[in-house]
Every structure is written in C-alpha cells, then in structure tokens.
C-alpha cells in the first residue's frame, strides 16, 4: 500500500513569532477596533456614563484583543489536532449547564467563573466550526458524495442544538444550524441532501413546537402578528421600530435618543442596542456600521480564498458565517424582520462571552491568514512528520 505523496512541498510552517506578527492583518484589526469603539460610544450613551457598561466592555475588549493576537500566533495545526477536544469540552459544558439548570429548577445559560460568566453556547459556536472544519478537511471530494459520511457531522450539529434548545436558547440553536449548513455547503455536500434534511426538519416542526416553552411560542406568534399584543411580548418589537423609525436619516443625535434614555427601549445595552444606535445616529449610522461589518466579511472571504489548506478555508468561512449570522439575526430581529430570539450584536452589545468568542473567532481567522501557505495533509498533523 502506497502512502499518499507528501503534501508539504512548500513549507511555511516554521515561521518565527516575529514573522508571524508581521503576517497578521493589522488593517483588519483596525476595522475591528473601529467597531469596538462604536460599541463603547453606544454603551456610554445608553447609560450617559462609562458606568456600568462602557468601561467594563472596554476592558474586556482589550483583553479580547490580546487573546485574538495570541490565537493568531498559534500554529494552525494545533487547532486541527485539538478541534474535537475543544468541541468535546464545549459539549460537556453545555451538558453541565443543562443539568445545573435542571437541578436549580430554572433556565441557566452560564457558568460563573468569577472573572466572567461563561456561556457554553457561545463557546460551542466556535467549537462547532473547528470540529466541522477538521471533519470535512479529511474528506475527499469523492467520499463526501457518500451520504453515510454525513451522519457524523450531522450529529455534531444537532447534538449541541438539542442541548441549547433545552436551555432554552432559540437564537443560538438557529445560529448553530445555519453555520453548520454553510459549512456543509462549502464542503461540497450536494444540494438535494439539504432538501432532504430541510424536509425532515419541517416534518419535525410540530414535534419541536411541543418542545418549546410557552414564552418562546409567544415570541414566534407575536412576531407573526406584533400588533396583537402591543404591551406584552410585542412591546419590544414595537418600541424598537419606533426608536429606529423616529431616528430617521440623520438620527436624534448622540446621547439624545429619547426612546432609549426614557427606558421605552428594552435591553438597550444588549440585544436592542442597534435600535438605540439607529435612533441616535439615524440610518446613516446604521448603514455605516453595516459597512464596517461588511468589510470584515470581505476580509473573511479573502482569507478563505487565500488559504492553501482546506482546514483553513473551512475555518475562515465558518468564522465569517458565524459573524454574519450574529449581525444579520440581531439586526433583522431589531427591525422586526425576525422573531426576538436573543442574539447579540457582535462587538457592540454588552456581554463578555459573546465578545470574547467573536474576538477568538477573529484570532482564528488571522491564524488562517498567517498560516495561509501551509499545506496540511488530509490526515492532519500526523502526515507531516
């Protein structure tokens, strides 16, 4: 039996730290910082003070940036090697919060680590990307045609989705499915298989409906007809639309958002911060932020296309789609295009784990760029030595 020919003909793996630092896309980091600054400004405006949100968020952001750089400098093969381990840890954490929640007789989504309240569902978003990237990295174009090879990755997606639904966290569940689907798609899974899974999914809707909590059912029903309950669950959407609409083109001015300041806007520092931003800075501010995110998406795609190893490509697309899902679901929810599912706006919304996860994701993206020329065999690290 012949070993596959060596793939590492052109080695760039052994870069020094200095070389790696030089490889980091500092221009991309500039845009990330720009969005972060946008975020502090909005958190400052939300409280008219650095306390209680802006200051803490700023410190976390700096901490996250350090993590980002550190993540980027680690050899990409380490992530390949430990992808399943990371996934396994994230999975165990999810099981842990579910069980703890069960014992504590209430929904719990985080683990208190004193410094930070760790949300395993956020960790899982990155862990799933890593695990799927590793799995598909190993499949050749032929083997991927075999439906049996898809059973494992489908399980990888739906096992955490089930756990997250039990929390219950509809937003994260939707994001995991979407990110998973995107990775299946770019990995080359045929379209008709998506159709089959989707149809099976639709078939499972009545079953899943019974699985949902009443408040979640209400949210979906309210989304379908928000005017039916203007003071109950529809209140959030209505007030959010009033905030955005009254902002108009140019906005009411920084720190002048009456909807937000007078507490009409719920969760103005977290999930609905975009409504406050749109009220104060208008459509111009909203589009500007959207453009900044788009720049990051473009960077993500560029990095994916430039990577010479499949793991890196898949990882870059996964991270990018993950970021996109955050942005799109959050904004669409705030604008009343999607039900209120509780997805934060990355780098803007107040919240520790989400910010660290997103910055960790950017770290992976840069890591892919730094190691873009590294060729990795289908079997992973083992082949190189």
Partner 1 sequence: MNQEKARSLVFTRRAALLGGGQVLLLSALIGRMYQLQIVESDRYTVMSRDNQLSDRLLEPLRGRILDRFGIPLAENDHNYRVEVTPEKVGDLKQVLEQLSRYLPLTDEDRAAILLDAKKRRSFVPIVVSENLSWHQLASIEVNAPDLPGVSIEVGQRRRYTQGRNCSHIIGYVAVPSEKDLAAGPYDPLLELPGFRIGKSGVEKQYDESLRGKQGMRRVEVDAVGRIVDERVKERIEPTPGQDLILTLDIGLQQFVQQRLASELSASAVVLDAQTGEVLALGSTPAYDPSMFARGVTVREWQDLMSDPLRPLANKATGGEYAPGSTFKMMVALAALKRGIDPNRHVNCPGVYSVGNTTFHCWKKGGHGSVDMYNAHKYSCDVFFYDTAMQTGIDNIAEMARQFGLGAPTGIDAPGERHGLIPDSAWKQATYGEPWYPGETPSAGIGQGFITATPLQLAVMAARVASGRAVVPHFRRAALVGAEEALAAEPPALDIPEKHFEVVREGMRRVTNDQGGTAFRARIAEPGMEMAAKTGTAQVRHISMSEHLSGVRKNQDLPWQQRDHALFVCFAPVAAPRYALSVVVEHGGGGSAVAGPIAHDIMLETERRNPARANLGQKLALTQKS
Binding interface with partner 1 (CB under 8 A) = 5, 140-142, 182, 185-188, 239, 241-249, 258-259, 261-264, 278, 282-283, 286-287, 290, 294, 297, 301, 304-305, 310, 313-314, 317, 321, 324, 328, 331-332, 335, 337
Nearer to partner 1, 32 or 265 (CB): 265
Residue 160 CB, nearest approach to partner 1 (Å): 22
Residue 222 CB, nearest approach to partner 1 (Å): 18
Residue 139 CB, nearest approach to partner 1 (Å): 8
d(CA 61, CA 247): 28
Please state, in angstroms and as integers, the Cα–Cα distance from residue 336 to each residue in 225, 236, 258, 293, 360, following that order. 10, 9, 20, 20, 30
Tokens of 202: 């639709």
Decide if 300 contacts 319 (C-beta within 8 A): yes
d(CA 288, CA 41): 14
d(CA 5, CA 209): 51
Is the dihedral angle over the CA atoms 327, 328, 334, 339 positive or is it negative? negative
d(CA 107, CA 370): 41
Residue identified by tokens 């959030």 is: 236
Nearer to partner 1, 31 or 324 (CB): 324
d(CA 110, CA 124): 12
Nearer to partner 1, 263 or 385 (CB): 263
Nearer to partner 1, 174 or 317 (CB): 317
Residue 353 CB, nearest approach to partner 1 (Å): 25
- DSSP state at residue 380: G
d(CA 252, CA 249): 9
Residue 83 CB, nearest approach to partner 1 (Å): 18
Nearer to partner 1, 31 or 61 (CB): 31
Nearer to partner 1, 119 or 307 (CB): 307
Nearer to partner 1, 88 or 248 (CB): 248
Q: Is it true that the peptide bond before 203 is cis, omega within 30 degrees of 0?
A: no
Query: What ranges in the chain are assigned the alpha helix state H?
Result: 17-23, 26-47, 54-73, 76-103, 120-138, 151-166, 170-187, 191-203, 205-211, 214-224, 234-247, 258-261, 273-306, 310-334, 352-370
CA angle 351, 355, 358 (to 5 degrees): 150
State phi, psi for 112 to the nearest 5 degrees: -85, 110
- DSSP state at residue 188: T
126-142 in b/e form (b: 16+ CB < 10 A) is bbbbbbbbbbbbebeee
Nearer to partner 1, 57 or 307 (CB): 307
Residue 138 CB, nearest approach to partner 1 (Å): 11
Residue 328 CB, nearest approach to partner 1 (Å): 6
Nearer to partner 1, 124 or 316 (CB): 316
Residue 214 CB, nearest approach to partner 1 (Å): 24
Residue 318 CB, nearest approach to partner 1 (Å): 11
Nearer to partner 1, 225 or 263 (CB): 263
Residue 331 CB, nearest approach to partner 1 (Å): 5
- DSSP state at residue 256: -
């Amino acid at each position: 039996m012949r070993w596959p020919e060596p793939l590492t003909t052109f080695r760039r793996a052994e870069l020094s730290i200095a070389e790696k630092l030089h490889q980091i896309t500092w221009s991309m980091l500039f845009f990330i910082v720009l969005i972060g600054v946008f975020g502090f400004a909005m958190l400052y405006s939300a409280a008219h003070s650095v306390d209680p949100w802006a200051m803490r968020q700023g410190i976390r952001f700096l901490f996250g940036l350090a993590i980002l750089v550190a993540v980027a400098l680690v050899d990409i093969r380490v992530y390949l090697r430990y992808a399943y381990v990371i996934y396994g840890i994230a999975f165990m954490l999810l099981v842990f919060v579910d069980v703890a929640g069960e014992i504590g007789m209430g929904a719990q989504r985080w683990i208190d680590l004193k410094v930070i309240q760790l949300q395993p569902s956020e960790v899982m978003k990155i862990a799933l990307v890593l695990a799927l990237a590793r799995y598909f990295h190993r499949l050749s174009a032929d083997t991927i045609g075999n439906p049996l090879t898809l059973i494992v990755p489908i399980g990888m997606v739906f096992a955490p989705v089930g756990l997250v639904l039990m929390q219950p966290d509809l937003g994260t569940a939707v994001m995991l499915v979407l990110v998973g689907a995107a990775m299946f798609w770019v990995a080359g899974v045929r379209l008709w298989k998506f159709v089959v899974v989707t149809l099976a999914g639709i078939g499972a809707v009545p079953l899943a409906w019974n699985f949902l909590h009443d408040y979640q059912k209400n949210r979906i029903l309210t989304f379908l007809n928000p005017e039916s309950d203007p003071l109950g669950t529809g209140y959030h959407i209505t007030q959010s639309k009033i905030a955005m609409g009254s902002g108009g083109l140019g906005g009411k001015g920084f720190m002048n958002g009456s909807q937000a300041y007078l507490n009409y806007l719920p969760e103005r520092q977290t999930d609905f911060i975009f409504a406050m931003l749109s009220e104060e800075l208008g459509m111009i501010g909203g589009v500007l932020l959207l453009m900044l995110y788009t720049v990051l998406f473009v960077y993500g795609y560029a990095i994916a296309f430039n990577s010479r190893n499949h793991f890196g490509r898949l990882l870059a697309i996964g991270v990018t789609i993950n970021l996109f899902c955050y942005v799109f679901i959050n904004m669409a929810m705030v604008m009343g295009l999607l039900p209120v599912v509780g997805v934060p706006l990355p780098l803007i919304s107040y919240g520790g784990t989400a910010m660290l996860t997103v910055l960790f994701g950017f770290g992976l993206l840069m890591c892919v760029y730094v190691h873009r020329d590294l060729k990795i065999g289908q079997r992973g690290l083992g082949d190189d030595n």
